[in-house]
Amino acid sequence: MAKTIDITIPDLGDFADVEVIEVLVSAGDTVEREGGLITVETDKASMDIPSPENGVVEKLTVAVGDKVSTGDVIGQLTIEVSDTVVITPALDDAPPSEAVSTEVPPEMTDEPESAPPGSGGRQTLVVPDIGDFEEVDVIEVHVAPGDSIEVEGSLVTLETDKAAMDVPATVAGTVNEVLVKVGDKVSAGSPVAVVEVEASATAADSGAQQQEAPKAAPQAATRPTAPETEAAQPSGAPARLPAIDEAGFAKAHASPSVRKLARELGVDLVQVKGTGLKNRILHDDLKAFVKAILTGQVAGPAAAPALPKVPAVDFAKFGDVDVQPLTRIQKISGPRLQASWINLPHVTQHDLADITDLESRRQQLKGPAKERGISLTPLAFIMKACVSALQEYPRVNSSLSEDGESLVFKKYVHLGFAADTEQGLVVPVIRDADKKDVYEIAQELGELSALAREGKLKADQLQGACFTISSLGGIGGTAFTPIVNAPEVAILGVSRASMQPVWNGSEFEPRLMLPLSFSYDHRVIDGAQAVRFTTYLGERLTDVDALLQAIP
Ligand code: CAO
């Protein structure tokens, strides 16, 4: 028996009047349950609105540019039903509903005893569909009993051997109980936390559902598809193709269904030009890209030879071992460093700068600065000198454009510096270093270093660097080969200054020499330019008055 049902917008959390950016089907199309019908976008996330059932689209009443909210009817679907209709919720282990649900089936469901959305009460939040993965490790728990949570706030982080993913809250409220701990293994449907739901958080949703689907399945809270962030992206589409540039893929402006299709086809979205709103990559763009490659109109990505693997060794065979998980920071920075190492032709120029005069002056100024709460370390002066060198050699302050065909010269000087923390390496950024004097730089350096060590840096304090300095001078060493923090094109490594005999033309003189290790992307910077840069930098470090000059 055929039956026509309304297609309604599921619970969009706090979002209302969300823009339709892509319509994926038309009247007459056969669609599968959970297949995307339209894509909507907020300023934080894009999400596919999935089909509630297998069926044929009767009509769609929305177009690109329309705005929709929770509960809006966006079309109708004809479905085949038996005499006694039972439509089960999305997860196999959830109990069948006793009535036809006209709602979009949930991606993330609550347990049967949960209160209906919008009514408040206790709800048990569970792990959503995580693709083919089962028994996934819980590596971080972000909430504790008593915590207030927002819709989309992260409850726990899971990790497979291929991806890390956050499990977001589907409702706002207060955490009553956390049902997992670090080290537990979970699968789709595993309970994560019990939450006392704020009645107001889903009230609008409740109203819409009561009107249109009075006997909807109790587990109807639906979360928007994961926002396009690095952490959340894998939850809907676990990484499967190692050849894809994951960092670029995560940033690609495309809907989850396009991402899913791209993964199925093995297409790196970074390569695809988007023609949608704000250059969003549409299904048609993806199809056109694949077609162009198949018909030879454009060259496909060169088949890169797989990197030879380091042999796996069972270390426990040779003695006792203690296995400790990498920190979150290490997991993020590791692949980025590797990507830079593999993709950039690195060269390191070593040099020595005479900082004898600078150091004696710094020793005089250090005490008074300390009284003002400023730790005047050599690094602040080195940063100041780098600003001048970057202004003199703007190529070092540039980045290659995405297509590799032009250079982007930045008119600002934001300096990153590597900070060693217990959780791993982070690179806070001193913005507009060219507009700050050495004391302001030293002060900010101290503040950002402290925040880094406390793990309290905000995202914008870690972004936008044009050039990075990695100073190991406080620890030791004579030289090293730092890895460029791509897409920057160069990095300055600094080792410990030491007294050395330097020939002044008639005799050896004891001078305090600072080792500089300047690594650069040889596609952008030539060897001659590199040594000109370090030579100039060394000269700047000898002109102490200029380094101490106030900014007008
Ligand atoms: N030569 C000799 N002494 C130096 C020096 C150098 N190049 N650089 C710093 N020092 C001295 C400082 O003068 C200070 O001594 P005083 O108190 O007597 O002045 C002492 O070493 C400690 O300095 P610091 O390291 O605490 O401060 P900083 O401003 O130089 O550096 C920071 C701050 C955050 C960069 C640093 O603490 C840090 O984390 N460094 C590690 C960076 C890193 O891990 N890089 C590797 C990345 S690649 O794996």
CB-based contacts of 531, cutoff 8 Å, min separation 6:
349, 351
Scanning the structure block, which residue is given the tokens 């950016």? 21
Query: In angstroms, how far is CA 159 from the centroid of its own chain?
Result: 15
- How many other β-carbons are positioned within 10 Å of the β-carbon of residue 544? 19
- Name the token pair of 415: 């300096």
Q: Look at strands 467-471 and 415-417 and give their pairing.
A: parallel
Sign for the CA dihedral angle at 284, 285, 290, 291 comes to positive
Q: Is the CB of 494 under 6 A from ligand 1?
A: yes
- Please answer whether residues 491 and 519 qualify as being in contact, where contact means their C-beta atoms are separated by less than 8 angstroms: yes
Rounded to 5 degrees, φ, ψ at 62 are -120, 155
Give me the half-sphere count of Cα atoms (radius 13 Å) on the Cβ side of residue 496: 7
Report CA(456)–ligand 1 centroid distance (Å). 20
Residues forming a β-bridge with 175: 195
Highest mean pLDDT among 151-155, 192-196, 295-299, 320-324: 320-324
CB-based contacts of 460, cutoff 8 Å, min separation 6:
none
Nearest CA among 255, 254, 260, 250 for reference residue 273: 254
Q: pLDDT tens digits, residue range 325-342?
A: 999 899 989 999 999 999
Q: Is the CB of 518 under 6 A from ligand 1?
A: no
Query: E strands of 326-397, at which residues?
Result: 346-354
Question: Would you please indicate which residues are annotated as catalytic (active-site) residues?
Answer: 522
From atom 24 of ligand 1, which residue's Cα is the shortest distance away?
Answer: 474
Ligand 1 pocket, mutate which of 379, 430, 441, 519 (most atoms under 8 A from CB):
379
- Please answer whether residues 53 and 33 qualify as being in contact, where contact means their C-beta atoms are separated by less than 8 angstroms: yes
DSSP 249: H
Residue 204 pLDDT class (50, 70, 90 cuts):
very low
What is the per-residue pLDDT for 458?
93
Q: Is the CB of 471 under 6 A from ligand 1?
A: yes
From atom 9 of ligand 1, which residue's Cα is the shortest distance away?
Answer: 474
Residue 163 pLDDT class (50, 70, 90 cuts):
low
Q: Give how far Cα 172 sits from Cα of 121, 151, 194, 221, 293, Å.
A: 11, 5, 12, 11, 46
Report CA(475)–ligand 1 centroid distance (Å). 6
Q: What is the mean pLDDT of the chain?
A: 81
Q: Is the CB of 377 under 6 A from ligand 1?
A: yes
552 vs 247: CA distance, rounded Å: 41
Residues forming a β-bridge with 426: 419
Q: Is the CB of 449 under 6 A from ligand 1?
A: yes
- Please answer whether residues 84 and 187 qualify as being in contact, where contact means their C-beta atoms are separated by less than 8 angstroms: no
In this prediction, residues 296-305 reach a mean pLDDT of 62
128 vs 232: CA distance, rounded Å: 12
Highest mean pLDDT among 57-61, 73-77, 423-427, 439-443: 439-443
Nearest CA among 241, 283, 279, 286 for reference residue 263: 241
23 vs 451: CA distance, rounded Å: 45
Q: pLDDT tens digits, residue range 132-151?
A: 678 888 877 888 999 988 88
All structural domains of the chain, each given as residue ranges with its CATH number in brackets, are 1-112 (2.40.50.100), 114-222 (2.40.50.100), 227-294 (4.10.320.10), 329-548 (3.30.559.10)
In this prediction, residues 262-288 reach a mean pLDDT of 83
271 vs 267: CA distance, rounded Å: 8
Residue 261 pLDDT class (50, 70, 90 cuts):
confident
Nearest CA among 331, 329, 438 for reference residue 378: 438
Count how many residues are written for the chain: 552
Q: Which atom of ligand 1 is nearest to the CA of 382?
A: 7
Three-state DSSP at 429 gives: strand
Q: Is the CB of 428 under 6 A from ligand 1?
A: no
From atom 22 of ligand 1, which residue's Cα is the shortest distance away?
Answer: 474
Greatest Cα pair distance, the chain, in angstroms, is 105
Residue 488 pLDDT class (50, 70, 90 cuts):
very high
% of the chain beyond a pLDDT of 90: 51
The model's pTM: 0.55
What is the per-residue pLDDT for 295?
76
Nearest CA among 508, 534, 496 for reference residue 390: 534
Scanning the structure block, which residue is given the tokens 């370390």? 377
Report CA(58)–ligand 1 centroid distance (Å). 68
Lowest mean pLDDT among 21-30, 59-68, 225-234, 307-316: 225-234
Q: pLDDT tens digits, residue range 345-381?
A: 999 999 999 999 999 999 999 999 999 999 999 999 9
Angle at 206 between CA 3 and CA 108, to 5 degrees: 75
541 vs 382: CA distance, rounded Å: 7
Q: Is the CB of 473 under 6 A from ligand 1?
A: yes
